[in-house]
Amino acid sequence: MVELKLSTRKRTEFIDITRQVQQAVTESGVQSGICVVYVPHTTAACTINEHADPDVARDIIGKLAELAPEEANYRHIEGNADAHIKAALCGTSEMVIIEDGKLQLGTWQGIFFCEFDGPRSRRVWVKIVPGRGG
Ligand code: ZN
């Protein structure tokens, strides 16, 4: 397993980690298999979406803020209930196919780490599972 370390700078931000994940795949030497990206946090997440236009991530962040405003009638007393909800909506892991040593992402797709309760030091676990053939 490879651990990526991130330092987030804002309370809410999406960080494109595609390059670091591909680097982990390259260094593994695996040509064909599966790459699992896992976020071991409850107020952060990961998602795959368009990374060509940064406005897409901004729009997702904006809509999540509407769905789960920072201040609302939450029961969780820690004051970050919105961050837990946003993390639940985005999800904890992504799985990407590896072929020819490359992450098989669509033309516009990138892998984002989603911070919802930063700034913090964060970790992302990347597990590369070799497959048969290829
Ligand atoms: Zn909390």
Distance 77 CA to ligand 1 centre (A): 7
Distance 73 CA to ligand 1 centre (A): 14
Domain span at residue 38 reads 2-130
For the stretch 71-118, pLDDT in tens is: 999 999 999 999 999 999 999 999 999 999 999 999 999 999 999 999
Distance 120 CA to ligand 1 centre (A): 14
Question: What's this model's pTM, rounded to 2 decimal places?
Answer: 0.96
Q: 3, 122 in Cβ contact below 8 A?
A: no
Task: Name residues whose C-beta falls within 8 Å of residue 103's C-beta, 6 or more positions apart in sequence.
Answer: 18, 21, 22, 25, 35, 96, 97, 111
Q: Look up residue 61 and give its two tokens.
A: 């962040």
For the stretch 18-73, pLDDT in tens is: 999 999 999 999 999 999 999 999 999 999 999 999 999 999 999 999 999 999 99
Q: What is the CATH number for 110?
A: 2.60.120.460
Q: Report how far residue 102's alpha carbon sits from residue 96's, in angstroms, rounded to the nearest whole number.
A: 10
Domain count within the chain: 1
Q: 45, 39 in Cβ contact below 8 A?
A: yes
